Amino acid sequence: MPPLSSNAPIGVFDSGIGGLSVLRALREELPHERFVYLADSAHTPYGEKGDAFVRERSLAIARHLVSEHAIKLLVVACNTATAAAVHLLRSNLPDIALVGVEPALKPAAHCSRTHHVGVLATRGTIASARFGELLSRNSEHTHFSVQACDGLAHAIEQSTLEPLPAAASLEKTRALCARYMGALGPFGTRDGEMDTLVLGCTHYVFAEPLLRELAGPDIRIIETGAAVARQARRLLQERALLTDPAAQPHGGDVGLYTTAAPSALQAAAQRWLYFPISRCATVSLP
144 CB-near residues (< 8 Å, 6+ apart): 105, 117, 118, 119, 135, 138
Largest CA distance in the chain: 57
Task: Supply angle C-alpha 156, 162, 168, rounded to 5.
Answer: 60
For residue 246, the tally of other CB atoms under 10 A from its CB is 7
The whole-angstrom separation of Cα 126 and Cα 104 is 13
145 CB-near residues (< 8 Å, 6+ apart): 116, 117, 118, 119, 184, 185, 194
DSSP β-bridge partners for residue 187: 194
CB-based burial, 87-113: b 16+ in 10 Å, e otherwise: eebeeebeebbbbbbbbbbeebbeebe
Contact criterion met (CB below 8 Å) for 18 and 153: yes
Annotated catalytic residues are 78, 201
For residue 79, the tally of other CB atoms under 10 A from its CB is 31
Contact criterion met (CB below 8 Å) for 149 and 173: no
Helix, strand, coil content of the chain in percent (nearest 5): 50, 15, 35
